[in-house]
Amino acid sequence: MNSLLRFVFYGVFIRLVVLIVLGLNVRHRERLPKAGPAIIVANHNSHLDTMVLMSLFPLSLLPKLHPVAAMDYFLTSGFFSWFTVKVVGILPIKRTVSRGDDNPLAPCNQAIADGQLLIIFPEGSRGEPEQMQSLKGGIARLAESNPTVPVTPVFLHGLGKALPKGETVLVPFFCDVFVGEPLPWTGDRRSYMRQLDERMRQLAAEGNFPSWE
């Protein structure tokens, strides 16, 4: 039942919104992973980011496709957490760790071991619309534990204009999706984060975006 709901939600509703109300300009779509396990890393400006990334993949991959999301934000109330976990299909993780907790990334490692495709926003939150914040290091830990799994960076533009944090009215804009080459594990976390950051900036520089101030 839930998986049928999820299929209708992403296959019909989200696709209509993403392709007709918004409209995408996708560059290098062929670089997206075609099977799991895989990690997709993107910048984060809007709740729509997840919806756009999910709609880039064929529906056959839907059961294996999960956005990693903050437990403290998405698992607050009963209905909301049912919706986000069962329909949206998030993989909830803890954003803050206290002493004595298990590794907060353990669920991610488990999902990767199960051949799933994870969508991760290393900025941690949506922040100011259309401005990239510094990337958090969890993604490097994940890559270190799973050095053979491809990590594909994706740069998104325009979704922070369409539906920024704190707004409820969706204003249509065409959105840009630039897919980068998968980033291989570099051997240590610091250089990995530097390269990921560099890769995201290169992707952002491919676009010629109008000002929005």
Partner 1 sequence: MQFHVGTNVLVALGGLYGILLIASVWVAILRWSEPEKDRTELIQRVSSWWVIVSVFTAAMLMSRNVSVGFFAFVSFLALKEYFSIIPTRRADRRVLFWAYLVIPVQYYWVAQAWYGMFIIFVPVYVFLLLPMRMVIIGETKEFLRAAGTLHWGIMTLVFGISHIAYLLVLPEDKNPAGGSAGLVLFLIFLTEFNDVSQYVWGKTLGRNKIIPKVSPNKTWEGFLGGVATTTVLSVLLSSWLTPMSYQVALMAGLLISTAGFIGDVTISALKRDIGLKDSGSMLPGHGGILDRIDSLTYTAPLFFHFIYYLYY
Residues that bind partner 1 (CB under 8 A): 23, 25, 129, 158, 161, 164, 167, 169, 171-174, 208, 210-213
Our CB check for partner 1 shows the closer of 30 and 102 to be 30
What distance, in Å, lies between the first and last C-alpha atoms of the chain? 44
- Indicate the DSSP class of residue 102: P
Q: Which is nearer to partner 1, 74 or 173 (CB)?
A: 173
Residue 1 or 169 with smaller CB distance to partner 1: 169
CA distance 143 to 120: 12
Cis omega (within 30 of 0) for bond into 37: yes
Using only C-alpha atoms, the chain has a radius of gyration, in whole angstroms, of 16
Q: How far is the CB of 110 from partner 1 (least distance, A)?
A: 39
Cα separation, 188 vs 8, in Å, equals: 42
DSSP H or E segment with residue 179: strand 175-179
In angstroms, give the least distance from the CB of 212 to partner 1. 6
| CB of residue 78 to partner 1, shortest distance in Å | 32
Instruction: Return the number of the residue (77 or 211) whose C-beta is nearest partner 1.
Output: 211
208's CB contacts (< 8 A; 6+ apart) are none
| CB nearer partner 1, residue 80 or residue 209 | 209
For the bound state, the minimum distance from the C-beta of residue 167 to partner 1, rounded and expressed in Å, comes to: 7
Name the minimum Å distance from CB 70 to partner 1. Answer: 25
Report H helices in 9-114: 15-16, 48-55, 71-74, 78-82, 106-113
Residues 90 and 74 sit within 8 Å (Cβ to Cβ): yes
